[in-house]
Structure 1
Amino acid sequence: MNFEKYQDFIMEKTLELLNINSPTGYTEDAANYCLEEFRKLGFEAKLTNKGGVLVNIGGKDKENGLLLEAHTDTLGGMVSSIKSSGRLVVTPLGGMNANNAETENVTVITKFDGEYEGTFQLNNASIHVNGEYNDTKRTFDSCEVVLDEDVKSEEDTKKLGISVGDIVCFEPNARITKSGYIKSRFLDDKLSVGILLGFAKYIADNKITPERAIYIHITVFEEVGHGGCASVPEGVTEAISVDMGCVGEGLTCTEKQVSICAKDSGGPYAFSIVKGLIEAAKKAGADYAVDVYPHYGSDVEATLSAGYDIKHGLIGAGVYASHGYERSHKEGALNTMKLLVAYADL
């Protein structure tokens, strides 16, 4: 089967989604995008009360359903206070790290008064003025948002309509290189959403009715730990989180592979699922790696913690520099899709 034609589709949809701001807690636009894209492919899709998207892919055996989970919420920030200078103190949403967010352009989304641009900078960011520039630890206490507006006081900023609780979105800076790498903030986990759209398109294009019921849940609170806690359809016996595969020292996965996680911070994944995923990768000719992630938690572990009686697994295209300026490759996305098709026995 020719899967390569789905690479461009996956990359196109991933780029579109990357350019929709969706920090945890502000995901309506991204969720609506996903809702419409699955519907365009001909599938029944609905918004959950929580704000995620639940898709019914179809299938004959509804007593042995498979749930695939990916998340469209990302890291970001929220205004926690306004300084006397008119600049903004930010609290992170999820695991946003000040060290690699410094100097990034941001958009402040107010609750009632539109959007404003700014930059996330170290306090007193002029190196020709600040003698402690090199020695200052970058934290959300030592950095601030400098608004691209003529504000000189807290009152000036408040007059713009900016207030505590407004959302701060960091630019993704997404691009695809000639060599096939995709670089962006928030590939975790928008690349996986693109892969699941490719997986759904493959089923639609080939008019496949799966032997077992398959559902997709695009979650919206994964970055704060409770994305997959609800909305598991009746009859689901297995859930697989399709998230980023870890790439780094001590691990074997590269950006061109699909990673199968055997264990992460939440403990081991179901041995039978890990074994089945490896067998499916071999069957599909998908380039894969099996790794243990030292600092990681997934949607499907939240599903288990919510009390659902399921077996669980975790896969994803290899992603380097997680929670920073991330990088993967179109081959990693393709290998992930191949694995999903083989595991679902399509």
Structure 2
Amino acid sequence: MSYPNADKTIELIKELVEIPSPSGNTDEVISFVEGVLRDLQVGTKRNRKGGLIATIPGKDSDQHRMLTAHVDTLGAIVKEVKASGRLKLDLIGGFKYNSIEGEYCQIETTAGEKYSGTILMHQTSVHVYKNAGKAERNQDNMEIRIDEKVHSADEVRALGIEVGDFVSFNPRAEVLANGYIKSRHLDDKASVGILLQLIKQVKEESVELPYTTHFLISNNEEIGYGGNSNITPETVEYLAVDMGAMGDGQSTDEYTVSICVKDASGPYHYGLRKHLVQLARENEVNYKLDIYPYYGSDASAAIRAGHDIVHGLVGPGIDSSHAFERTHRSSIEETTKLLYHYLQSELV
């Protein structure tokens, strides 16, 4: 049995993370995914929120499946153009200021101009500020230093930069020879890459899926409502493919597929969870069951929106989520294997 080529998946993930796509400004990356699917002759449509839905007809068109992964990422938005010529930020998504200190970034103006910058503490220089190491990392103290000759708000505005402009973070993606992949935004572009490679295999090998299957590439997950709509009435099962969270007390690691039992929204569907575990055992897929205490997914958003569906959550294990993320080729492979068998399995 052959599975999608992991090297190709990782190449695709690297391409994806290098496309800026903070929640609210995702058209470029959605267009990229749209192009990949067009080349595969997979029918797609955009929803009004800007997400992308791909559909592969199955043997049974009366009952549907939906899988989702999201291309929107953490980011920021310009809150204030400061008199000093620097920018104050407002965060997009759930993360802390300390995780972006010193990061290179890109500011995109409404007109589409792009400028380089660095996110710094105002009190960075230890030769000037006695409290450089003790000052709180917060909105008041952190700012963007623009890589242009600007020393006033008027000079910044002359560049076209204004309140509301989007800020994306340099992913600094690296693929190491020993199998590790480290980059910002592996949440959740690793999963998007996996789904696209699975769709490619299904199309190229003419695999007949048992049920009509929709793939939602959502674009507002980081702010809570990416996958809560455009679910057909025929949809029975809804599986979010998103990162597995690692840390103290967690069983998730960077080498297996994580199957989520419960997150902040409550338990996931017990029957679907057992089905996923059974598929993993039958097909020698290495997996871990886990609980993510401060987490919500597109699947939980769909449940909250009132959809009558069976919902689940799986994904590759990601270390240091919403910060300096890392996973391993093994986790990409195990997640791919589980999803390959899930797509061809019976409904629970």
TM-score (norm 1): 0.98
Match of 1:68, SS state, is: strand
Q: Using the TM superposition, give the Cα deviation of residue 345 of structure 1 relative to its aligned residue in structure 2, in angstroms.
A: 2.2
| TM superposition outliers: structure 1 runs of 4+ over 2 Å | none
Match of 1:213, SS state, is: strand
Which ranges in structure 2 are unaligned for 5 or more consecutive residues?
none
> Counterparts of 2:234 and 2:136 in 1: how far apart (Å)?
50
Q: Which residue of 2 aligns with 1:49?
A: 48
Q: Which residue of 1 aligns with 2:311?
A: 312
Match of 1:157, SS state, is: helix
User: Which amino acid counterpart does residue 319 of structure 1 have in structure 2?
Assistant: I
Stretch of structure 1 that moved more, 129-138 or 66-75: 129-138
> Counterparts of 1:287 and 1:11 in 2: how far apart (Å)?
19
1:70-123 CA distances to partner (integer Å, 9 max, x unpaired)? 000000000011111010000001123210100101110000261111100001
Which ranges in structure 1 are unaligned for 5 or more consecutive residues?
none
Matched, 1:62 2:23: no
Q: Which residue of 2 aligns with 1:232?
A: 231
Q: Which residue of 2 aligns with 1:21?
A: 20
User: Which amino acid counterpart does residue 211 of structure 1 have in structure 2?
Assistant: P
Q: Using the TM superposition, give the Cα deviation of residue 140 of structure 1 relative to its aligned residue in structure 2, in angstroms.
A: 2.3
C-alpha contact (below 8 Å) 1:107/1:170 kept by paired residues: yes
Q: Which residue of 2 aligns with 1:197?
A: 196
Q: Using the TM superposition, give the Cα deviation of residue 314 of structure 1 relative to its aligned residue in structure 2, in angstroms.
A: 0.2
1:167-196 CA distances to partner (integer Å, 9 max, x unpaired)? 011100111111111100000000000000
Q: Using the TM superposition, give the Cα deviation of residue 66 of structure 1 relative to its aligned residue in structure 2, in angstroms.
A: 1.0
Q: Which residue of 2 aligns with 1:95?
A: 94
Alpha carbon RMSD of aligned pairs, Å? 1.1
Match of 1:275, SS state, is: helix
> Counterparts of 1:247 and 1:63 in 2: how far apart (Å)?
38
C-alpha contact (below 8 Å) 1:35/1:47 kept by paired residues: no
User: Which amino acid counterpart does residue 237 of structure 1 have in structure 2?
Assistant: V
TM-score (norm 2): 0.97
Q: Using the TM superposition, give the Cα deviation of residue 43 of structure 1 relative to its aligned residue in structure 2, in angstroms.
A: 1.1
State the identity %.
39
Q: Using the TM superposition, give the Cα deviation of residue 16 of structure 1 relative to its aligned residue in structure 2, in angstroms.
A: 0.7
1:53-81 CA distances to partner (integer Å, 9 max, x unpaired)? 10002211122211001000000000011
1:19-57 CA distances to partner (integer Å, 9 max, x unpaired)? 100000000000011111122122111222210110002
Match of 2:117, SS state, is: strand
Q: Which residue of 2 aligns with 1:2?
A: 2
User: Which amino acid counterpart does residue 253 of structure 1 have in structure 2?
Assistant: T
C-alpha contact (below 8 Å) 2:123/2:131 kept by paired residues: no
Matched, 1:138 2:137: yes
> Counterparts of 1:137 and 1:264 in 2: how far apart (Å)?
30
1:249-297 CA distances to partner (integer Å, 9 max, x unpaired)? 1111211110000000000000001000101111221110000111100
User: Which amino acid counterpart does residue 100 of structure 2 have in structure 1?
Assistant: A
> Counterparts of 1:253 and 1:169 in 2: how far apart (Å)?
28
> Counterparts of 2:282 and 2:147 in 1: how far apart (Å)?
54
C-alpha contact (below 8 Å) 2:123/2:135 kept by paired residues: no
Stretch of structure 1 that moved more, 319-328 or 233-242: 233-242
Q: Which residue of 1 aligns with 2:81?
A: 82
Cα 1:113–1:43 change in 2 (3 A) is closer
Matched, 1:221 2:224: no
> Counterparts of 1:281 and 1:37 in 2: how far apart (Å)?
29
Q: Which residue of 1 aligns with 2:29?
A: 30
Cα 1:113–1:276 change in 2 (3 A) is closer
Q: Residues 124-135 of structure 1: matches in 2 within 5 Å? A: 124-135=123-134
User: Which amino acid counterpart does residue 301 of structure 2 have in structure 1?
Assistant: A
User: Which amino acid counterpart does residue 2 of structure 1 have in structure 2?
Assistant: S
> Counterparts of 1:62 and 1:113 in 2: how far apart (Å)?
42
> Counterparts of 1:258 and 1:154 in 2: how far apart (Å)?
49
